[in-house]
């Protein structure tokens, strides 16, 4: 009866298959080869009978073939793929039951993940490395994915791209393209919503981690960069969809304030102010660069509510009122700091700890620092003869060092809170380290001048070195003179200090978007300068024999004297020089500079197209930096030890001392117990 069913299926559907491909067979039919063509196609059809029966949904033929045909790995592998591809959970279950029967007979069944090394599956209609579970995950077939995972099917995590293990080496040697496509298809399955939802205890956290890894892989394997970036986008969208399922504030708090245990421990070290939730998952999203998740309205609402604290009316107030409050804080900053220093737990002290007020205090402090720098620069210009000589007063030109010491202490505390690695991951912190180093070097060189002059003139008054460090005019200074180097360092750091003001711009939507655009443009300029250096050096090496380097450099900016290229006494050199100079001008001025403009325009347009997400992500990082505990007092008042800091130090010392005593007591008790046991054994004490 089973053979009869198969025959009827092959005859009925086989001829239907031939008729379906009548156009393909038409040339052969005209040559009276109907019998041979029909025989060939029926033979091929018989070979694919199981797969075709699954696609056509003929369960009787499929059951008959499964019972009558000897088990074959390639056949069961292909059949499972076909069943998954056509979304037939019942057929998948039957095939899995059949597979379990063969396993019970102790038959050698190879892993589906190792199908890449089987040449019998090279003619498969599915991509290399695609397993039934991978295909089900790619199609987000939750029922089939659940069924396969319950049967023990897993998607093995791909090894690193640089892995040199035996499995990876054999895979590359066997078929490099097949090996690479297998990795891509594996990641497609892992990055699917179905796989993340069913196999992960925390699907959102898994999506974060996978998104970060896929972003790294897009840089390590640029040949598959679009595929990896599309998968990374899927992970981000999945995390956003999970967050959007929250129905109330309680669920939002549960999600944003909890994450994995190991990650939770590392984030707990960066404690927030009292009363502010940990926001562990949100901070993790910022670290993993999950911009869409962070820019989601739910996250932004939570951050904005914490940012304003008890000042509920701040968010809806007018800009004029905000400016008025900001100016008031700017003028009364010393008084507010004094109140917080004396009574941090008072009502006014708690007001200062609100993130938005803390932000305004720190911004006011930095503005006072910039005003101090500006005042010193104007004073140096008005009294240039004094400040440009050895007669300058160190105190008059170093008032800004009060802020520099405060900034140095602030950065030390930030390193202690965040950790050295996390600290240097932020480019603003790298800029702070460089600026502070230059400020301290400039001040140290000024002190060096005074000390050398004092000691040299104290021991040997009137010597040449004494006169040089105390009375020599500026025109006679050496190139490496410490005071001259100190002035250069001070000039550079003053400029960088004003650019550091851009850190607070993300607090405003329009200014924050411009700040992000400028950052992207600077990145484009750095890459452009590398190309410019190569092409410019190539021309300079040749043309420098005819013209000077200075002339060629200023040609790029149009500040040249065209008569410089005329050399009537050297006709051949003038002819060659004009040709090379013309090519140089064409390439540098017209091609490269316009390319730079196009690159900058493209970067600006990308930011504008996604301006809302970019700005909210940058603002969120700014908000989180002011939620931290221990950095409330602005510079330079933070260098004054507060009663609160002294109390914390004493409490820490007391706890350390108590732990040490407890440890000593435990060791003493253990030592006494060992002695008593030994005495009992020696003297047989009952």
The pLDDT value recorded for residue 559 is 60
The pLDDT value recorded for residue 577 is 72
The pLDDT value recorded for residue 660 is 60
The pLDDT value recorded for residue 380 is 81
- Residues 6 or more apart whose CB falls under 8 angstroms from that of 527 comprise 599
The pLDDT value recorded for residue 438 is 93
Question: Is residue 10 pLDDT above 50, yes or no?
Answer: no
The pLDDT value recorded for residue 46 is 46
Specify the range with the lowest mean pLDDT, choosing from 182-191, 499-508, 534-543, 587-596.
534-543
Measure the CA–CA gap between 414 and 423, rounded to whole angstroms.
Answer: 7
Helix crossing, 59-68 with 49-56: angle to 10°? 150
Q: How confident is the model at residue 263 (pLDDT cuts 50, 70, 90)?
A: low
SS3 272: strand
What number of H helices and E strands is found in the chain?
A: 35, 0
Specify the range with the lowest mean pLDDT, choosing from 83-87, 210-214, 256-260.
256-260
Whether residue 5 contacts residue 64, with contact meaning beta carbons closer than 8 Å, is answered with yes
Q: How confident is the model at residue 191 (pLDDT cuts 50, 70, 90)?
A: very high
The pLDDT value recorded for residue 560 is 60
Question: Is residue 268 pLDDT above 80, yes or no?
Answer: no
Measure the CA–CA gap between 296 and 359, rounded to whole angstroms.
Answer: 23
Kindly state the tokens that stand for 434. Answer: 């460089």
Computed over every residue of the chain, the mean pLDDT equals: 78
Q: How confident is the model at residue 578 (pLDDT cuts 50, 70, 90)?
A: confident
Q: How confident is the model at residue 377 (pLDDT cuts 50, 70, 90)?
A: confident
Question: Is residue 343 pLDDT above 70, yes or no?
Answer: yes
Measure the CA–CA gap between 241 and 235, rounded to whole angstroms.
Answer: 10
Whether residue 69 contacts residue 8, with contact meaning beta carbons closer than 8 Å, is answered with no
Better pLDDT: 232 or 550: 232
The pLDDT value recorded for residue 249 is 87
Nearest to 614 by CA among 532, 533, 509, 543: 509
Where helices occur in 544-642 by DSSP H, the ranges are 549-555, 571-585, 593-609, 611-625
The pLDDT value recorded for residue 117 is 43
Q: How confident is the model at residue 286 (pLDDT cuts 50, 70, 90)?
A: very high
Q: How confident is the model at residue 120 (pLDDT cuts 50, 70, 90)?
A: very low
The pLDDT value recorded for residue 622 is 92
Q: How confident is the model at residue 684 (pLDDT cuts 50, 70, 90)?
A: very low
Q: pLDDT, tens digit, for every residue of 37-53?
A: 444 454 455 446 777 77
Report the pLDDT averaged over residues 646-673.
Answer: 61
Report the pLDDT averaged over residues 161-176.
Answer: 84
Better pLDDT: 4 or 236: 236
Q: pLDDT, tens digit, for every residue of 540-577?
A: 776 666 666 666 666 666 666 666 666 666 667 777 77
The pLDDT value recorded for residue 682 is 35
pTM (two decimals): 0.77
- Residues 6 or more apart whose CB falls under 8 angstroms from that of 307 comprise 355, 356, 623, 626
Measure the CA–CA gap between 268 and 248, rounded to whole angstroms.
Answer: 25
Report the pLDDT averaged over residues 360-374.
Answer: 93
Kindly state the tokens that stand for 569. Answer: 């006494």
Q: How confident is the model at residue 194 (pLDDT cuts 50, 70, 90)?
A: very high
Strand partners for 628: 272
SS3 content of the chain, % helix, strand, coil (to 5): 75, 0, 25
The pLDDT value recorded for residue 204 is 92
User: With pLDDT > 90 as the criterion, what percentage of the chain qualifies?
Assistant: 22
Q: pLDDT, tens digit, for every residue of 526-544?
A: 888 888 888 777 777 766 6
159: phi then psi, degrees, rounded to nearest 5: -70, 170
Report the pLDDT averaged over residues 169-190.
Answer: 86
Q: How far is CA 571 from CA 545, 560, 578, 585, in A?
A: 15, 21, 11, 21
Whether residue 242 contacts residue 197, with contact meaning beta carbons closer than 8 Å, is answered with no
Q: pLDDT, tens digit, for every residue of 443-455?
A: 999 888 888 887 7
Specify the range with the lowest mean pLDDT, choosing from 149-153, 224-228, 533-537, 614-618.
533-537
Measure the CA–CA gap between 155 and 160, rounded to whole angstroms.
Answer: 15
Q: How confident is the model at residue 262 (pLDDT cuts 50, 70, 90)?
A: low
Kindly state the tokens that stand for 170. Answer: 């054999």
The pLDDT value recorded for residue 668 is 41
Q: How confident is the model at residue 175 (pLDDT cuts 50, 70, 90)?
A: confident
The pLDDT value recorded for residue 547 is 64
């Amino acid at each position: 009866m089973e053979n009869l069913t198969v025959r009827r299926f092959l005859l009925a559907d086989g001829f239907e298959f031939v008729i379906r491909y009548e156009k393909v067979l038409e040339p052969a039919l005209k040559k009276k080869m109907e019998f041979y063509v029909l025989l060939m196609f029926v033979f091929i059809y018989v070979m694919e009978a199981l797969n075709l029966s699954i696609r056509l949904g003929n369960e009787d033929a499929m059951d008959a073939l499964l019972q009558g045909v000897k088990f074959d790995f390639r056949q069961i592998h292909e059949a499972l793929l076909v069943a998954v591809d056509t979304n037939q959970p019942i057929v998948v279950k039957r095939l899995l039951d059949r597979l379990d029967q063969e396993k019970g007979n102790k038959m050698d069944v190879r892993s589906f993940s190792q199908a890449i090394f089987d040449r019998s599956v090279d003619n498969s209609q599915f991509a290399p490395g695609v397993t039934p579970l991978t295909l089900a995950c790619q199609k987000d077939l939750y029922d089939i994915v659940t069924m396969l995972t319950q049967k023990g099917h897993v998607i093995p995590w791909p090894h690193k791209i640089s892995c040199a293990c035996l499995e990876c080496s054999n895979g590359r040697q066997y078929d490099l393209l097949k090996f690479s496509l297998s990795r891509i298809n594996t990641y497609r399955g892992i990055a699917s919503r179905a796989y993340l939802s069913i196999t992960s205890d925390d699907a959102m956290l898994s999506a974060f981690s996978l998104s970060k890894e896929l972003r790294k892989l897009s840089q390590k394997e640029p040949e598959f960069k679009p595929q990896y970036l599309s998968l990374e986008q899927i992970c981000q969208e999945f995390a956003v969809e999970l967050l959007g399922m929250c129905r109330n504030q309680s669920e939002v708090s549960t999600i944003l304030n909890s994450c994995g245990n190991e990650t939770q421990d590392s984030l707990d070290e960066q404690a927030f102010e009292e009363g502010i939730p940990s926001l562990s998952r949100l901070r993790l999203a910022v670290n993993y660069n999950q911009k869409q998740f962070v820019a989601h309205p739910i996250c932004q609402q939570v951050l904005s509510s914490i940012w304003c604290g008890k000042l509920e009316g701040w968010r809806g107030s007018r800009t004029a009122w905000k400016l008025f409050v900001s100016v008031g804080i700017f003028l009364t900053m010393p008084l507010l700091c004094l109140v917080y220093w004396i009574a941090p737990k008072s009502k006014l002290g708690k007001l200062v700890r609100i993130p938005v007020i803390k932000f305004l205090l720190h911004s006011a402090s930095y503005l006072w620092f910039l005003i101090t720098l500006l005042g010193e620069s104007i004073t140096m210009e008005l009294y240039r003869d004094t400040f440009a000589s050895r007669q300058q007063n160190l105190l008059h030109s170093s008032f800004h060092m009060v802020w520099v010491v405060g900034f140095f202490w602030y950065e030390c505390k930030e390193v202690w809170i965040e950790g050295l690695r996390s600290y240097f991951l932020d480019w603003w912190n790298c800029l702070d380290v460089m600026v502070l180093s230059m400020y301290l070097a400039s001040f140290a060189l000024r002190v060096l001048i005074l000390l050398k002059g004092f000691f040299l003139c104290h021991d040997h008054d009137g010597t040449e070195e004494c006169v040089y460090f105390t009375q020599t005019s500026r025109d006679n200074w050496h190139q490496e003179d410490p005071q001259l180097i100190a002035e250069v360092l001070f000039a550079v750091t003053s400029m960088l200090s004003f650019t550091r003001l851009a850190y607070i711009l993300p607090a405003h939507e329009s200014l924050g978007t411009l700040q992000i655009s400028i950052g992207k443009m600077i990145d484009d300029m750095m890459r452009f300068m590398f190309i410019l250096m190569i092409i410019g050096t190539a021309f300079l090496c040749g043309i420098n024999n005819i013209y000077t380097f200075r002339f060629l450099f200023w040609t790029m900016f149009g500040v040249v004297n065209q008569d410089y290229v005329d050399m009537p006494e050297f006709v051949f050199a003038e002819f060659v020089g004009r040709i090379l100079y013309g090519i140089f001008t064409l390439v540098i001025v017209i091609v490269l500079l316009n390319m730079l403009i196009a690159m900058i325009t493209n970067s600006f347009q990308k930011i504008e197209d996604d301006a809302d997400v970019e700005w909210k992500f940058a603002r969120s990082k700014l908000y989180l930096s002011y939620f931290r505990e221990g950095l409330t007092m602005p510079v330079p008042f933070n260098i004054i030890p507060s009663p609160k800091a002294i109390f914390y130090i004493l409490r820490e010392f007391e706890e350390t001392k108590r732990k040490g005593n407890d440890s000593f007591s435990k060791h003493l008790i253990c030592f006494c117990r060992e002695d008593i046991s030994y005495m009992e054994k020696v003297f047989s004490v009952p």
